[in-house]
Structure 1
Amino acid sequence: MTAERTNEMAADTPRAEIHHDHRDVTGGWLRPAVFGAMDGMISNVSLIAGFVGASATPHLVILSGLGGLVAGAFSMGVGEYVSVASQADLARAEIEVERTELLTNAHAEREELAQLYIARGVEPELAREVARQLSRDPERALEIHAREELGLTPHDLPSPILAALSSFLAFSVGALLPLLPFLLGATVFWPAVLVTGVALFAAGSAVVRITARPWWYGGLRQLLFGAAAAGVTYGVGAAIGTHVA
C-alpha cells in the first residue's frame, strides 16, 4: 500500500467529534461551598433570631452574630479538612492494596478486569485481549482497576485544603448576610430576615440550576428550611430568654 493511499484512507476515516464539555464534578469544592453558605446563613440567622426573641440589645445581637460567624467558619473549615483528608487517606490505602495485587497477582487481576468487560457485554475473547493490552502499562492498569473497582481516580482525589477553604469562605459570607443589617445600624429583626430570605432563595435557585432541577423548587426549599430554623430559635429565645439572668 502506497503512502498516498494510506493518507487518503486516513483522511476518509471519520473522526470522533466533541459536541459538549463536562463540568468539573470531582474537584471537591462545590459540596463544601454550597453546604458552608447555606449553613452560614441558616445557623447565623437562627442564632440572631434567638437573641432577638430574648429581647437582647442590638449590641448583643451583633456580638452573637460575630461569634457565630467566626466560630462556625473555623469549625466548618476544620471539619471539612479532616473529613476530606480522612477520605483521601482511605482512598490512597485502598489504591495501594490494588497496586500490590497488580504486582503480586497480575494474572488474576487481568482476568478480573476481563470479567468486568464480559459482564458489560464484551465478547470473552475480546475482553481478555483488551485487559491484556491495558495491563501492559502498570500505572494505566492501576488507574483502570481503581476506577472500575473502587470508583476512584488515583491522581484526581479531592483536595482537603480546597474543601476547607471553600467551606470557610462560603460559611463566612453566608453568616455575614443576616448580620449585615445590624452592622449597618438596624435595630429591628425584619431587615435581617429579608436579606437572608432573599439570599436563601437565590442560593437555592442557583444550586438547582447546576443540578438541572426547577429553580423555584430549590429556592423555596431553602427558604422554608431557613424560616423553620429561625422560627424555632426565635420561639426558644422568647420563651426562656426573660428567665436567664
Structure 2
Amino acid sequence: MNQNKALRWTLHYLPAIGLFAGFILLWQLAVSVFGIREYLLPGPYAVWQSMLSDEIPWLSHAWITGVEILGAFLLAGVAGVALGMAIAWSQGISRALTPFLVFVNTLPKVAIAPLFLMWLGYGILPNMLIGALIGFFPVVINTAVGLTQIDQDLVDLGRVFSAPKWKVFLKIRIPNAYPYILSALKVTATSAVVGAVVGEFVASQKGLGYVIITTQSSMNTPAAFAALVWISVLGLLLYGLVALLSRLLAPWAEEAPR
C-alpha cells in the first residue's frame, strides 16, 4: 500500500522533476557548446562545487536568511489575517483601512528599505519587516474576500439559531476563508524571500543576499549562483510547508494525487 502511494506521488511530481532536469541539462549544454566563460555564466557543476565548498560558510548565511524569511512570513501572515478580518468585520473599518493599505502597498519597497535600516540599524529585524511589507497585502485581500464571499444560506442558518455575530464569524466565515488565506500565504512565502534578500542587498554583513553582493564584486559568479540556489531552496521549503498546512486545514481545496 505504501509503495503504491509512493509511486502515485512520484508520478504526480514527475513533470516538475523532469522540467528541472531538462533545464539543468540545457544550461550545461549551453555553457559547454558556446564556451561561455565562467565569470559570465558558470555551469551547473561549477555551481554545485561552490555550494559544497568550505570557502563560504553557507550554513551560517543560509540560517540568517532563513530566519529573516520565516520572520517576514509570520509577520505578514499574522498582520494580513488580522487586517483582513477587521475589514470584513465592519464596513466602516473597511472604508478607513483599504485606501491606506493600498497606499502602503504601492510604496516602492526598495526605497523604503534604507529607511528601515536607518531607523532600526543593521540586523535581522529590518529585513524581516521589509519582507513582511512586501508580502502582507495579498493576505489582507484574500482574507477579506474569503470572509465575505460566503453562501448566504449558511449565514441565515446561524441567524435562525440566534448565533451572535462573533460566533457566525468564528464558526462559519473563518473556515470558509481557509482556502483563500492559504492561497495568499503561498504567494507570501515567495514574497518574503524577495523582501528578506532585498534587505540584505541594501545593507547587511550576513546572509545569502550579502554573499551575492560580495561575490559579484569579486567576479566569483559560481558562488553568486550558489547563493541563488540556496535562496530558492529556502523558498521551496517554506512553500512546501504552506502547501502541507493547506492539505491539513483545507483538504477540500487541495488537489492531492490519488
Tell me which interval the TM-score lies in, with the shorter structure as reference length: 0.3 to 0.5
TM, length-normalised to structure 1: 0.33
Looking at CA atoms only, which structure, 1 or 2, has the larger radius of gyration? 1
